[in-house]
Structure 1
């Protein structure tokens, strides 16, 4: 089939009913820092309160609970204190809901956003104004902007925690690098803007995309989504689903290797600065590792993707779409 002839409907028809095989991936992450924040149980009541308040339909609430947001936050940041972990989980739920609203997923407060460009633009504009106001970037005395989506209020809750701990410079940096607040780190601009830092960030983001699109594919097919990595590769290279899976796994493995190289280069670059910066870079790299390994461990366990029951003894996955 020519790449240009792919449509959402015929691609879904091609993969539905097929058996998908994902080889063991644990070894890719085994040499990186992993863990679960021991404060994970402390944030469960907060998460339940948020879900009950902001997910209007019972069926959607059930799906939201299955997403294991507590585990998500606790595996990404296994070492942060309770206030920062609360911030992480509120902010994470806000981001999940933001994305799900655009994709008509669980908890969507506006079902037409996916199909109406004007509504989507308004949604983004209102969110941007709300975020800026709650971070304190609007003129003093300016009233809170109007908004239709009540789920934005979760960002207001997260921002309140952030503003109680962070100065103006940190709030400004938050818009680009939120985890510096979580770690309590500060770096010279020359290091923040360095190629070594950019390379680390690039591989972290690519790693999360690779593994998430692999392990969420069963859910995406059930939802009728065709814009994730596997369908894109099938379309681009005119290959089968499992050939696309193999290509994705190979890409993930290369990404892990490139991250290790980028992390080594960042440590070397840090030697140009004092010991505080060098120690901070060590903590930062450990955080990069837990972000990647945490996302993987959450993805394979959460009921949001539902692949846990299909995990074999060797760590591989095999399931029918």
Structure 2
């Protein structure tokens, strides 16, 4: 395909995308929604309204409904733990909209502006590593307000996570911010990354790794350092990350074509294969591979730590509901414009 820059992505518009049997991949995996959803949504919307005020940014936040996503990710978690997960998701939505929503400003199309915003964000996040809360401006600008959406994350983490996990969470959040810079640089360069390059930075820019650091809190267990540092336990997080962002790439493609963005696994593989459905099927098989590797890691962990079966099963259940919850949330909201009630290989949308 000889089209340059973002032009080739435009050729996806109007094409029909047939969803593969995503539901079948996760047959038997747990699903649900937290009974704390309503109270969490009201509390979080009030908090973000105080931060952003009325307007399109707040309306977009409400439409994305991070509280619903967190509730479907973690249906069995306590309200406190769920509040932490929801605060993380809210930060992702509020902060990341500055990076990938041209309707809110020029940052998404200006790499230097993006670097300044990311630099200020990183400084703010790192200030939490020194035990002190960041100073606040009497009259914060819009950028400072967006960055301050991280504050509830750090405050909740301090009350719910041991100190070392708090530190790791903040460092992972810094890595997320910096990785979004890699993604923006790829978008603006016009040089389409190959799928291997994309996967490397997307594992960090998806934000799932930040949430995974809270997985024991969400599952209400303490696995201890031996299991926590086990390579198969780390693999659970890596494969769940791949599952979540790759499925999201399929489900969010219609929305992303609005701008258009090509840092999406389907779009990248479409450029390579010049066939939308082939690209979708390639992504589907990548997800299936991750499902198989995740299941293999689970089996090995259960065999290695038989006396911790109950705790491990609680963590695995939470990881799996994160994967299925991401799908049900995507179908439930209007953000992606799906309007399909099943993803069994028989439904489709027009991009």
Question: How far apart in 2 are the matches of 1:209 and 1:143?
Answer: 31
**Partner SS state of residue 18, structure 2:** strand
How far is 1:139 from its partner?
6.0
CA shift digits 1:180-212 (9 cap, x unpaired): 333343334332222212222221111012110
2:298 to 237, 254, 263: 263
Would the aligned equivalents of 2:61 and 2:94 in 1 still touch at CA under 8 Å? no
Paired residue for 1:117? Answer: 111
Question: How far apart in 2 are the matches of 1:266 and 1:205?
Answer: 18
1:183 to 215, 219, 232: 219
2:130 to 128, 132, 138: 138
Show the 5 A alignment for 1:98-247. Answer: 98-104=95-101, 108=104, 111-134=105-128, 137-138=129-130, 144=135, 148-175=143-170, 176=172, 177-235=213-271, 237-247=272-282
1:37 aligns with 2:14: no
Would the aligned equivalents of 1:25 and 1:316 in 2 still touch at CA under 8 Å? no
Would the aligned equivalents of 1:174 and 1:180 in 2 still touch at CA under 8 Å? no
Q: TM-score, normalised by structure 2?
A: 0.78
> Gaps (5+ residues) in structure 1?
none
How far is 1:229 from its partner?
0.7
The 1:53/1:266 distance shift into structure 2, 3 A limit, reads same
The total of aligned residue pairs comes to 306
Question: How far apart in 2 are the matches of 1:315 and 1:42?
Answer: 36
Q: Which runs of 4+ in 1 moved over 6 A?
A: none
Would the aligned equivalents of 2:20 and 2:343 in 1 still touch at CA under 8 Å? no
Question: How far apart in 2 are the matches of 1:305 and 1:313?
Answer: 14
Moved more, 17-26 or 182-191: 182-191
The 1:13/1:194 distance shift into structure 2, 3 A limit, reads same
How far is 1:31 from its partner?
1.3
1:287 to 308, 313, 318: 318
How far is 1:314 from its partner?
5.4
Q: TM-score, normalised by structure 1?
A: 0.85
1:86 aligns with 2:83: yes
User: Larger Rg: 1 or 2?
Assistant: 1
Would the aligned equivalents of 2:18 and 2:349 in 1 still touch at CA under 8 Å? yes
**Whose helix proportion is higher, 1 or 2?**
2
CA shift digits 1:290-317 (9 cap, x unpaired): 111111111222211110x244695743
Question: How far apart in 1 are the matches of 2:54 and 2:102?
Answer: 12
Moved more, 52-61 or 253-262: 52-61
How far is 1:57 from its partner?
6.3
> Gaps (5+ residues) in structure 2?
173-212
Paired residue for 1:306? Answer: 337
**Please, what is the CA RMSD of the aligned residues?**
2.5
